[in-house]
């Protein structure tokens, strides 16, 4: 019993800290064409520079604190205010344009439900901002996968109401939960994991993107191949499958998975952050490279938030490990 509890808290901390590391490691390459692999390798493994985190981590910390304080229960009104307050406190973290405008409106007193619905000509944002912050939902104890997906959607609604963005949050939260239940160093069945995630997405576009992954993994596709097939952009329907592909290509090698994610180019901080969450949930904090822990801005803050989240408890019997 003690061993299980210990390893669960290690997984939660691994997921949270490696999500922050992925964000900070990917940030210098965000929005660029795929960088020179040697440049990525230098930055990841030889640099001693500070790794600054971006909005991805700032928002993940808000959600982790929200869930910890409320013992896993989501309150949309409070969450919207907390996200808007965080944006007000540090608006320079590289937020998406729509998100920045939304949080400014909420901070001025706008009602989140209407403001988020009005974005992008009334379609709602299809960006990956809800998926990028959702890992803590996948690390809550005692939830079946359907409940993980449902709770993820509720956290997404306050800012991202496009069906593909809601799918992105549900898919990334379920993937995190499955990674946290998976057994290290035993082969991860990509078909089963993708099929399990597909049960919790609603749009045909998202399901189609996810269904491309098993074949890409089976043929050991390159980052360029994955980016060509599913995309590497800021849309949730691209970035979430891309991150899952990076994880499935290297499920037991954290630096390789994060390097793969950054090597795809495009929305590198977000894809690498979501990859880091999945890797950390599976491999736990023991696989955090020491230098990343030393270089990460705010490492102790992330560590503290993750430890508090982990104290909510161990996972229940409702969810099944993926293969």
Question: Which residues contact ligand R7I by CB under 6 A?
Answer: 54-56, 94-99, 120, 123, 125-129, 132, 162, 234, 267, 269-270
Smallest gap from Cβ 54 to ligand R7I, in A, equals 5
172 binds Mg ion (CB under 5 A): no
Cβ closest to Mg ion, residue 233 vs residue 315: 233
Cβ closest to ligand R7I, residue 165 vs residue 319: 165
What is the full DSSP assignment across 136-193?
HHHT-TT--HHHHHHHHHHHHHTT--SHHHHHHHHHHHHHHHHHHHSPTTS---HHHH
Smallest gap from Cβ 67 to Mg ion, in A, equals 21
86 binds Mg ion (CB under 5 A): no
- Answer for the pair 245, 209: CB distance below 8 angstroms, yes or no: no
Count of Cβ atoms closer than 10 Å to residue 122 Cβ? 8
Nearest to 237 by CA among 108, 89, 110, 130: 130
What is the full DSSP assignment across 20-59?
HHHHHHHGGGTTSSPPPHHHHHHHHHT--S-B---HHHHH
Cβ closest to Mg ion, residue 82 vs residue 267: 267
Cβ closest to Mg ion, residue 128 vs residue 176: 128
Listed ranges 53-61, 161-169, 279-287, 306-314: which one lies at the site for Mg ion (CB under 5 A): 53-61
* Phi, psi for 268 (deg, rounded to 5): -65, -35
Q: Which of 216, 270, 310, 315 binds Mg ion (CB under 5 A)?
A: 270
- Answer for the pair 67, 137: CB distance below 8 angstroms, yes or no: yes
- Give residue 120's region: left, alpha or beta (phi > 0; psi -120 to 50): left
Greatest alpha-carbon pair distance for the chain in Å reads 52
Listed ranges 52-60, 98-106, 177-185, 206-214: which one lies at the site for Mg ion (CB under 5 A): 52-60
Smallest gap from Cβ 209 to Mg ion, in A, equals 18
Quote the tokens at residue 299.
């490492």
Cβ closest to ligand R7I, residue 176 vs residue 270: 270
Listed ranges 91-99, 197-205, 256-264, 307-315: which one lies at the site for Mg ion (CB under 5 A): 91-99
Smallest gap from Cβ 165 to ligand R7I, in A, equals 7
Cβ closest to ligand R7I, residue 99 vs residue 152: 99
**Interaction pattern, residues 92-111, with Mg ion; x per rule: CB under 5 A:** --x-----------------
Nearest to 253 by CA among 303, 179, 184: 184
- Answer for the pair 180, 281: CB distance below 8 angstroms, yes or no: yes
* Phi, psi for 92 (deg, rounded to 5): -90, 25
Smallest gap from Cβ 144 to ligand R7I, in A, equals 27
Q: From the list ligand R7I, Mg ion, none, pick the one residue 82 interacts with, judged by a Cβ distance below 5 to 8 Å according to partner type.
A: none
- Size of site (CB under 5 A) for Mg ion: 7
161 binds Mg ion (CB under 5 A): no
Which residues bind to Mg ion, rule: CB under 5 A?
A: 54-56, 94, 267, 269-270
């Amino acid at each position: 019993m003690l061993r299980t509890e210990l390893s669960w808290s290690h997984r939660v901390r691994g997921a949270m800290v490696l999500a922050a590391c992925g964000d900070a490691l990917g940030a210098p390459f965000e929005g660029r064409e795929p960088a020179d692999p040697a440049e990525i390798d230098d930055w990841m493994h030889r640099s001693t520079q500070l790794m600054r985190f971006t909005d991805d981590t700032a928002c993940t910390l808000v959600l982790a604190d929200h869930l910890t304080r409320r013992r896993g229960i989501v309150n949309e009104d409070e969450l919207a205010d907390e996200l808007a307050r965080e944006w007000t406190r540090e608006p320079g973290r590289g937020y998406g344009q729509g998100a920045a405008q939304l949080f400014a409106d909420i901070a001025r007193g706008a009602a989140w439900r209407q403001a988020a619905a009005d974005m992008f000509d009334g379609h709602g944002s299809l960006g990956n901002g809800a998926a990028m912050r959702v890992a803590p939902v996948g690390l809550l104890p005692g939830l079946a996968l359907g409940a993980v997906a449902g709770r993820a959607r509720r956290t997404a609604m306050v800012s991202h109401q496009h069906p593909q963005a809601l799918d992105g949050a549900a898919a990334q939260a379920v993937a995190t939960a499955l990674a946290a239940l998976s057994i290290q160093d035993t082969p991860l069945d990509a078909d089963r994991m993708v099929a399990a995630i597909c049960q919790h997405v609603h749009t045909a576009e998202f399901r189609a993107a996810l269904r491309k992954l098993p074949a890409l993994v089976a043929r050991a596709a390159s980052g360029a191949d994955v980016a060509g097939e599913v995309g590497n952009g800021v849309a949730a329907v691209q970035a979430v499958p891309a991150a899952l592909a990076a994880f499935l290509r290297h499920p037991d090698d954290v630096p390789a998975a994060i390097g793969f994610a950054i090597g795809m180019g495009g929305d590198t901080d977000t894809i690498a952050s979501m990859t880091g969450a999945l890797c950390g949930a599976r491999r736990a904090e023991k696989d955090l490279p020491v230098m990343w822990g030393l270089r990460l801005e705010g490492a102790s803050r992330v560590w503290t938030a993750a430890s508090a989240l982990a104290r909510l408890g161990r996972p229940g019997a409702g969810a099944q490990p993926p293969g």
